[in-house]
Structure formats: structure tokens, C-alpha cells
Structure 1
């Protein structure tokens, strides 16, 4: 039985970026934390931009490896920052949750980059190469 994990990085990066941005907005609404709004919004928007760039590259048949690697780098930075914040505060929400989900995303990116060799080609491109 095949795992139910998407094989394309943008299938995970786009929703993850939206979650990060949403948590930034929630942090602002709940605690009036302008830092949460700016950090969550900018990191989430960056991830979504990288996800769209990867999708655009994949759609045109180009390699999306640079976009996936950049998404992994942004996510690693987020995991480190939120992990450090969690260790200092022991607050599950949002730092613990973001640290955990960021580490899970890093595992996904590592699989995509190292095991799968990036996003698989489109079905139409695979049919042309046969």
C-alpha cells in the first residue's frame, strides 16, 4: 500500500505557508503581538511564494529543486527559531506546534530532495519520454 503523502513539494508548501501566515495573524489578534503578525505573515508569504514558484517551474517542465531547497531553508530557520522559543517557554501554542510541524516539513523536503530527486515530471512529460 502506498503512503498518502504528496510527492510534489508545492502540495505541502502552499498549505504550510498558509498555516504559518494564519498563526501569525492569530498571534496578533490574541496577544496584539505585532512581531507575530510580521514574522508569521512574512514567513508564510515567503513559503507560499516559493511554493507557487515551484509549481510554475514544475508546470513548465523545469527543475523545481532550487525552490524546494529554498523552502527547506526557510522551514529550517523557522524550526530552529520556534524550537528555541519552545525550549525557553514550554508553550505548546504556537511555538511548540510550529517547531513540530516545521520539523515534519523538513523530513518531507529531505525525502523530496534526497530520495525522490525532486518533483516527479508531469504525466504528459513521462508519456513523451517513453
Structure 2
């Protein structure tokens, strides 16, 4: 599976979560953290998708994805430890940890698999 197949939906979930957090509680931290990070991830996924269309890998996109997911894992994991609230801290920390592992796997295996050209 290619990184952009998961990154773009992951980013969309974060954007939606950030907007919901802002609308429900007026939390600028939710808006900035969720929507901001989500938009960065969508951009990184787009970079990776465009590189894949050119039959290349975007290691910049993969690096951005990995750093964002790792930071979210750390920040939301700490928030979960402080509050013990599954929603949103525990869920975001868990998903972000899985995404970080996925991105590290993609880095270790050389990025997205580029299929051979059909002749």
C-alpha cells in the first residue's frame, strides 16, 4: 500500500476533528493542532501522490508525514496520560502511532513500490 493512500484520509480526519473541536468548545488549540497538522499531512500526501504519478518517490513527503505522525503520537499520548480521555487524545495518539510505524516501514523498505511499466 502506498503512503498517500493512508496519509490523505488521515489528514482529512485530523482537519475534521480540529474543526469539530473548535466548533464544540471554541478551542483554538484544536483548530491549529488538528486542522493545521491535517493540512500539512494532506500536502505531504499530495507530494507523494504526484511523485508516484511520475514513477518516483517523494522522500520529502514521507519525511514530513513521519515527523507529523511522530509529533502527534508524542503530544496526544502525553495528553492521554494526563487526562485519561480516550476521545480525542487516546484515539489520535493510537492512530498516529500506527501511522508512524507505517511511515517508518515505508522508509525502511525504500518508499512506495513503483510497478514495472506495462509493455
- How far 1:62 moved relative to its partner? 2.5
Deviation at 1:34, TM superposition (A): 1.8
Matches of 1:104 and 1:120 in 2, distance apart?
20
Cα displacement (A) at 1:78:
0.8
8, 26, 35: which is aligned to 1:32? 26
Larger Rg: 1
User: What TM-score results when the alignment is normalised by the length of structure 1?
Assistant: 0.86
The answer for unaligned runs of 5 or more in structure 2 is none
Question: 1:63 Cα shift?
Answer: 2.2
Is it true that 1:13 corresponds to 2:7 in the alignment?
yes
Q: 1:33-112 maps to which residues of 2 (within 5 A)?
A: 33-112=27-106
Cα distance between partner residues in 1 of 2:117 and 2:52: 16
Unaligned runs of 5+ in 1: 1-6
| Matches of 2:66 and 2:32, distance apart in 1 | 20
Cα shift at 1:26: 1.1
The equivalent residue for 2:110 is 117
Cα distance in 2 for residues equivalent to 1:57 and 1:49: 12
Asked whether 1:127 is paired with 2:107, we answer no
Partner of 1:23: 17
Deviation of 1:22 after TM superposition, in Å, equals: 0.8
Any runs of at least 4 consecutive aligned residues in structure 1 with deviations exceeding 6 A, and if so which? Answer: none
